[in-house]
Amino acid sequence: MPTPPTQIPPPTRAGAQRTDPAFRVAAITLLVAAAVLYRPASALAQDSTVAGVVLGTGGAIPLEGARVTIEGTPLLQTTGSNGRFRFQNVSGTEVTLRVARVGYQPASRVVRIGATDLSIVLREASVQLDEIVVTGQPQGTERRAVGNSIATIDAPAALELSGAGDLTRLINGRAPGVTIVPNSGRAGAGPTITVRGLGSLSLNSEPLLYIDGIRVTNDVETGPTGAAGGSVISRLNDIAPEDIASIEIIKGPAAATIYGTEASNGVIQVITKKGRVGKPQIGINVKQGTNWFQDPEGRIPTNYGFDGAGGILSQNLVQEENDRGTPIWTNGYSQSYNVSASGGSEAVQYYLSGTYDDENGIEPTNSLRRFAGHANLSFPINDELDIGTSLNYVRGETHLGMDYSNGVFFNTLYGFPFLRDTPTRGFLVAPPEAYYSGVFDNTQDVSRFTGSLTVNHRPLAWLSHRLILGLDQTAEDNQALSRFAPPEVAQFFDPATARGGVFVNRRDIAFYTGDYSATANVRLSPRISSATSVGGQYYQRRIDTLGVQGSEFPAPGLSTGIATARTFGSQDFVTNKTIGLFGQQQFGLNDRVFLTGAVRVDNNSAFGDNFDLATYPKVSGTWVVSEEPFWRLGFVSALKLRAAYGASGQQPQSFAALRTYAPSTGPNDLPTVTPQFVGNPDLKPERGEEIEVGFEAGLFDRIGIDFTVFSKQTEDAILLRGTPPSGGFPGEQFVNIGAVSNKGVELQVNAQVITTPNFAWDLGAGVATASNYIKDLGGSSGIATGFTPQRNVPGYPIASFFIKRVVSAEVDPATGAVTSALCDGGPGAAAVSCDEAPLVFAGTPIPKVTGAFTSTVTLFRNFRLYGLVDFKRGHRRLDTDRLNRCVFIGNCLENASPEGVDPRLLADMAFGADLQTINSFVDDAGFFKLREISASYTLPERWAGLVGATGATITVSGRNLHTWTSYGGLDPESRSAQGEGGELQFLDQAVTPTLAQFVTTFSLNF
Rounded distance between C-alpha atoms, residue 541 and residue 543, angstroms: 7
- pLDDT confidence of residue 227: 54
Lowest mean pLDDT among 176-185, 695-704, 823-832, 903-912: 176-185
- pLDDT confidence of residue 15: 45
Is pLDDT at 30 greater than 80 in this prediction? no
Cα 331 to Cα 132, 134, 362: the distances in Å are: 44, 42, 5
Sheet holding 67-70, edge to edge: 76-78, 67-70, 94-100, 107-112
**Taking CA 818 as the corner, what is the angle to CA 813 and CA 824, rounded to the nearest 5 degrees?**
135
Is pLDDT at 326 greater than 60 in this prediction? yes
Residue 422's nearest CA partner among 117, 5, 119, 836 is 5
State the average pLDDT over residues 941-951.
88
Burial class (CB in 10 A: 0-12, 13-18, 19+), 993: buried
Rounded distance between C-alpha atoms, residue 716 and residue 733, angstroms: 14
State the average pLDDT over residues 307-314.
92
User: How far is CA 690 from its chain centroid?
Assistant: 24
Q: Is the dihedral of CA 263, 264, 265, 268 positive or negative?
A: positive
Is pLDDT at 632 greater than 80 in this prediction? yes
- pLDDT confidence of residue 660: 83
Span 61-97, pLDDT tens digits: 788 878 898 888 878 888 877 788 888 888 888 999 9
Rounded distance between C-alpha atoms, residue 615 and residue 259, angstroms: 12
Residue 832's H or E segment, with its range, is strand 832-833
Q: In the structure, what pLDDT confidence band is assigned to residue 127 with cuts at 50, 70 and 90?
A: confident
* Number of residues in the chain: 1006
Span 516-555, pLDDT tens digits: 999 999 999 999 999 999 999 999 999 999 999 999 999 9
Q: In the structure, what pLDDT confidence band is assigned to residue 1001 with cuts at 50, 70 and 90?
A: very high
Span 583-601, pLDDT tens digits: 999 999 999 999 999 999 9
pLDDT over 70, % of the chain? 93
HEC string of 869-932 equals: EEEEECCEEECHHHHHHHHHHCCCHHHHCCCCCCHHHHHHHHHHHHCCCCHHHEEECCEEEEEE
Q: In the structure, what pLDDT confidence band is assigned to residue 38 with cuts at 50, 70 and 90?
A: very low
Span 788-840, pLDDT tens digits: 789 999 999 999 999 999 999 999 988 889 999 999 999 999 999 999 999 99
Say if CB 801 and CB 843 are below 8 A apart: yes
- Residue 15 DSSP one-character state: S
**Taking CA 527 as the corner, what is the angle to CA 106 and CA 466, rounded to the nearest 5 degrees?**
70
- pLDDT confidence of residue 620: 96
- How much is the pTM? 0.89
Q: Which residue has the higher pLDDT, 463 or 232?
A: 463
Rounded distance between C-alpha atoms, residue 397 and residue 389, angstroms: 27
CATH code given to domain 132-293+329-779+845-875+925-1005: 2.40.170.20
Work out the number of other CB atoms within 10 angstroms of the CB of residue 82: 24
> What is the average pLDDT value for the chain, to the nearest integer?
89
Say if CB 193 and CB 178 are below 8 A apart: yes
For the chain, domain boundaries: 45-121, 132-293+329-779+845-875+925-1005
Say if CB 103 and CB 156 are below 8 A apart: no
- pLDDT confidence of residue 59: 65
Say if CB 819 and CB 810 are below 8 A apart: yes
Span 137-188, pLDDT tens digits: 888 888 999 999 999 999 998 998 888 989 999 999 999 999 998 888 999 9
- pLDDT confidence of residue 28: 44
CATH class of the structural domain 45-121: mainly beta
Rounded distance between C-alpha atoms, residue 872 and residue 848, angstroms: 8
State the average pLDDT over residues 855-871.
94
- pLDDT confidence of residue 26: 41
The pair phi, psi for residue 509, each rounded to 5°, is: -115, 125
Rounded distance between C-alpha atoms, residue 973 and residue 168, angstroms: 15
Helices and strands, counts by H and E, the chain: 14, 51
- pLDDT confidence of residue 23: 43
Which amino acid is present at 244?
Answer: I
- pLDDT confidence of residue 228: 57
- Which are the contacts of 886, defined by CB distance < 8 A and separation ≥ 6? 892, 894, 895, 909, 912, 921
β-strands 118-121, 50-55: how paired? parallel
Which amino acid is present at 671?
Answer: P
Say if CB 728 and CB 675 are below 8 A apart: yes
Query: Taking the CA atoms of the chain, what radius of gyration do you get in angstroms?
Result: 30
Q: Name the CA dihedral angle for 847, 848, 852, 853, rounded to a multiple of 10 degrees.
A: -140
- Which are the contacts of 919, defined by CB distance < 8 A and separation ≥ 6? 803, 804, 805, 806, 842, 904, 908
The pair phi, psi for residue 494, each rounded to 5°, is: -70, 160
